A and B are shown apart, each in its own frame.
Chain A
Amino acid sequence: MLEARLPQASILKKIVESVKDLVSQANFDCSDSGISFQAMDESNIALSSFLLRADGFDPYRCDRNLSLGIKFASLSKILKCAGNDDVVIIRYMDDADILSLVFESPNNERISEFDIKLLDIDSEYLSIPDQEFECKVKMSSSEFSRICRDLMTIGASVVIDATKEGVKFSATGDDGSGSVLLKQSGSIDNEGRGVVGTSVEMVEPVSLELSLKYLNNFTKAAPLSDSVAINMSNGIPVMFQFDVGDIGYIRYFLAPQIKD
């Protein structure tokens, strides 16, 4: 069986909102170390994953490894019935075909229970090479959302150039072009005027072109974290990571656009 009590429903609500438009259904993999998920979108361009470690729950009990097939649209609707500050208890009894979600209000005077039907999903797991990235950018997640939204008005893709100076996002379209440069905070020629919280750690400069449609989907995870880590190497998928407090993370991998 699985019983996992999450002190704040808002965390689970935000996680589901940040993947439901990329993946329609997937298995939640539960083990004694926590709850995780990995799935690609239908076009095999973006992979979404998350991990919530067992110690983020209080208490957490999972007797054996489980794969629980969830339809995100249903889970999202049910989680809308939970208050942000409610406690959520996720419960699965062995061999059942439902997952129970119990929401308890902060004063414990209102307890609601919803059951969601589980699906039998034959999911494919991808093995992601464990690699060192040539460039690691860390920046404000709300700034990242704003840039993706602004550049979407210009074009369908963005070129991200990361150099020692900072990180530049550029888009070109039929009607014109636009770019935003975020300088590294605290760099010498930018003292006191840098955008707070931008850092670039690099082995060599990286330039990648990415679909803005996907990036705008990833920004739905911004409410989970003040910052986003963008890990890049030339010519390979980019990894975006939003930390979920100190209990886990959401990661997105996005295949780049390659020059013909």
Chain B
Amino acid sequence: KSSQASLMNFFSKK
């Protein structure tokens, strides 16, 4: 079973 990661785990807000 896998879960969907969020882009916010990888990219930061400018």
Contact = CB atoms under 8 A, between A and B. Distances in A.
Interface of A: 40, 43-47, 124-129, 157, 209, 211, 236-237, 253, 255-260
A79 to B, nearest CB: 28
B2 to A, nearest CB: 4
Contacts of A211: 4
Interface of B: 1-14
A256 B5 contact: yes
Contacts of B9: 255
Contact of B11 (A128, A157, A209, A259): A128
Contacts of B12: 126-127
B7 A45 contact: yes
B11 A260 contact: no
Nearest to B1: A260
A129 B9 CA distance: 12
B3 A257 contact: yes
Contacts of B7: 40, 44-47, 126, 237, 253, 255
Contacts of B13: 124-127
A209 B2 contact: yes
Nearest to A40: B7
B9 to A, nearest CB: 7
Contacts of B14: 124-127
A47 B6 CA distance: 10
B7 to A, nearest CB: 5
Nearest to B8: A44
Given A126-B14, A127-B11, A255 B2 contact: no
A259 B2 contact: yes
Contacts of B11: 47, 126-129, 237, 253
23 contacts: A44-B6, A44-B7, A45-B7, A46-B7, A124-B13, A124-B14, A125-B13, A126-B7, A126-B11, A127-B13, A128-B11, A129-B10, A129-B11, A237-B11, A255-B5, A255-B9, A255-B10, A256-B5, A257-B2, A257-B3, A257-B4, A259-B1, A260-B1
A236 B14 CA distance: 19
Residue of B3, B6, B11, B12 ringed by the most chain A CB atoms within 10 A: B11
B1 A258 contact: no
Contacts of B4: 45, 211, 255, 257-258
Nearest to B12: A127
A82 B7 CA distance: 35
Nearest to B11: A126
Give the interface centre of A157, A209, A253, A255 by most chain B CB atoms within 10 Å: A255
A127 B11 CA distance: 6
